[in-house]
Amino acid sequence: MPKKEAKLSRYVALLRGINVGGKHKVAMKDLVALLQHLGYTEIKTILNSGNVIFSAPTMAEPKLAAEMEQALSTSFHFSIPVIVLSLEAIQNLMAVNPFSEIEPTKDTRFYVSFLKERSKANLDLPYVSVDGSFQILGIHDKIILSFLDVSKAKTPQVMDIIEKTYGKEITTRNWNTLLKIAT
């Protein structure tokens, strides 16, 4: 009897904290080779900051993330947190465009933060920073939507607010990066 082929799905892996400020360097060619070794196919990296689109046998996203984290740690000798989502989930988010009501300016940055687990944080939303530079619009399932006016505050300060509220099991992407992933 012929072996049954596993159904493949398209996923997005978001790796936290690689190639930032000269720390935790991971060459994209090495990352692709590692993922190929795990049996993933149709691998495409987006930018140099740990965004990977790939095909793998259909399975629970946390299981894929754990498998990647183990292989990355073994290969690169430091911990790399990973969040895996279906490519369809990213595309659906882009289609909804939760930032459509906000008038963009040259100083506006839209961010989407992805949590490993649903948050138990009890922050009144929408949250607006004292200086009005940063807003957390909402949290939906394991996705936090926020925006920043970079003429008033810097991104690292804002990420500190998100981490203090929602924990470190999180990774954040700029809306423009997610647009590149979705297309």
Q: Could you give the CA distance from residue 164 to residue 53 in angstroms, rounded to a whole number?
A: 29
**CATH fold of the domain at 97-182:** Alpha-Beta Plaits (3.30.70)
What own/partner pairs with CB < 8 Å and gap ≥ 24 does 64-68 have? 64/11, 64/13, 65/13, 65/116, 67/38, 68/13, 68/35, 68/38
Q: Find all residues with CB under 8 Å of 117, minimum gap 6, and list them.
A: 142, 169
pTM for this model (two decimals): 0.90
Query: What's the pLDDT score for residue 158?
Result: 79
82-134 pLDDT, tens digit per residue, is 999 999 999 999 999 999 999 989 999 999 999 998 888 888 889 998 888 99
Q: What is the pLDDT of residue 4?
A: 62
182: left (phi over 0), alpha (psi -120 to 50) or beta: alpha
CATH 3.30.70.1280 residue ranges in the chain? Answer: 8-89
Query: CA 49, 53, 55: angle at the middle one, nearest 5?
Result: 150
Burial grade of 129 (CB within 10 A; 0-12, 13-18, 19 or more): middle
pLDDT for 20 equals: 75
Euclidean distance between CA atoms 137 and 128, whole angstroms = 9
pLDDT for residue 1 = 55
- Contact present, 80 and 26 (Cβ < 8 Å): yes
Q: Which helix (H) or strand (E) holds 136?
A: strand 134-140
Cα–Cα distances in angstroms (integers) from residue 133 to residues 151, 158, 167, in the given order: 8, 9, 21
Give pLDDT tens digits along the chain (183 positions).
555 667 999 999 999 988 776 678 899 999 999 999 999 999 999 998 899 999 999 999 999 999 999 999 999 999 999 999 999 999 999 999 999 999 989 999 999 999 998 888 888 889 998 888 999 999 988 999 999 998 988 777 778 888 888 988 999 999 999 999 998
pLDDT the model gives residue 3: 57
Q: Which CATH class is domain 8-89?
A: alpha beta
Contact 9, 58 (CB under 8 A): yes
Question: What's residue 61's pLDDT?
Answer: 96
